[in-house]
Amino acid sequence: LAKTTQPISMDSYEGQEVNITCSHNNIATNDYITWYQQFPSQGPRFIIQGYKTKVTNEVASLFIPADRKSSTLSLPRVSLSDTAVYYCLVGDYGNNRLAFGKGNQVVVIP
Amino acid sequence: NAGVTQTPKFRVLKTGQSMTLLCAQDMNHEYMYWYRQDPGMGLRLIHYSVGEGTTAKGEVPDGYNVSRLKKQNFLLGLESAAPSQTSVYFCASRPTGESDEQFFGPGTRLTVL
């Protein structure tokens, strides 16, 4: 399983763009990069998935450099409700053994 | 569409007791998963299933058993509960296809005294 490294926590002000980084130096050729969000007392929720370059959906963007050894989740104009733990996962969706890690606690400040 | 539901929401057990956690999904998903989450930790995979009648071990399978007799249900059993199994248990499901989007249930908070 590819290991991921994320900052433990970060703060951001409401209305700012938040960039959350993840390192995955031993990513394999078939691995995808997936991000989940988890609020207290809830199950994680899928945010976005990508393989290379840039992926954008209605809630976030995912930037993946050419070497794929890291990725950045970008949340535009965060609100207080974006306070959550964000998990970066790396793996082949065919192997059903993705590892969540400890995640990155993001706190949005008024 | 109820999505993924888990029963019960809370449970307190004494050491040595047994219980079964039920996960049900109404999305016709092939894959189902059981995770546990301890305070300040991420989720760890206990067991998973790639289809009706199949099960496989995850990262932390010891002390747990599972069954997938029906496609929509995935049961997690604790035969002899231990305090180390105090945790929040999450079930998830996902369809086949080129995505790892897993759909999670609300969780079951289990305390073993």
DSSP string for residues in B45-59: EEEEESSTT--EE-S
d(CA A43, CA B91): 8
- Judge whether residue B84 has pLDDT over 80: yes
Query: In chain B, pLDDT over 90 holds for what percent of residues?
Result: 86
CA distance B17 to chain A (A): 25
- The pLDDT confidence band at residue A105, using thresholds 50, 70 and 90, is very high
Question: Chain centroid to CA A50: how far?
Answer: 10
Q: In this model, does residue A89 exceed pLDDT 70?
A: yes
| pLDDT tens per residue across span A3-39 | 888 999 999 999 999 999 999 998 989 889 999 999 9
Query: Which residues of A have a CB under 8 Å from any CB of B?
Result: 32, 34, 41-46, 49, 87, 89, 91, 93, 96-103
Confidence band, pLDDT 50/70/90 cuts, at residue A56:
very high
pLDDT value of residue B42: 84
Q: How far is A88 from chain B (nearest CA, A)?
A: 11
Contacts of B35 in chain A (CB under 8 A): 100
Q: Which residues are CB-contacts of A27 (< 8 A; sequence separation ≥ 6)?
A: A2, A33, A68, A69, A90
The residues on B that touch A, with CB distances below 8 Å, are 4, 31, 33, 35, 40-45, 48, 50, 56, 58-59, 90, 92, 98-107
**Measured between CA atoms, how close is A14 to chain B, in angstroms?**
24
Average pLDDT of chain B to the nearest whole number: 94
Q: Please tell me which residue of chain A has the smallest CA distance to B56.
A: A96
Cβ neighbours of B90 in A, within 8 Å: 43-44
pLDDT tens sequence across B43-75: 899 999 999 999 999 989 999 999 999 999 999
Residue A1 pLDDT class (50, 70, 90 cuts): low
Q: Write down the pLDDT at residue A2.
A: 65
Res B109 pLDDT > 70: yes
Which of the two residues, A103 and A93, has the higher pLDDT score? Answer: A103
Mean pLDDT score, B27-45? 91
Higher pLDDT, A95 or B76: B76
Task: Tell me which residue in B42, B90, B107 faces A101 most closely, judged by beta carbons.
Answer: B42
Check B107 against A43: CB less than 8 A apart: yes
User: Between A1 and A81, where is the model more confident?
Assistant: A81
pLDDT of residue A102: 83
For chain B, percent of residues with pLDDT exceeding 70: 99
Q: Which two tokens mark A4?
A: 């991921």
DSSP H helices, chain B, are: none
User: Does pLDDT of A81 surpass 90?
Assistant: yes
Distance CA(B49)–CA(B58), nearest Å, equals 10
3-class SS string, chain A: CCCCECCCEEEEECCCCEEEEEECCCCCCCCEEEEEEECCCCCCEEEEEECCEEEECCCCEEEECCCCCEEEEEECCCCHHHCEEEEEEEECCCCCCCCCCCCEEEEEEC
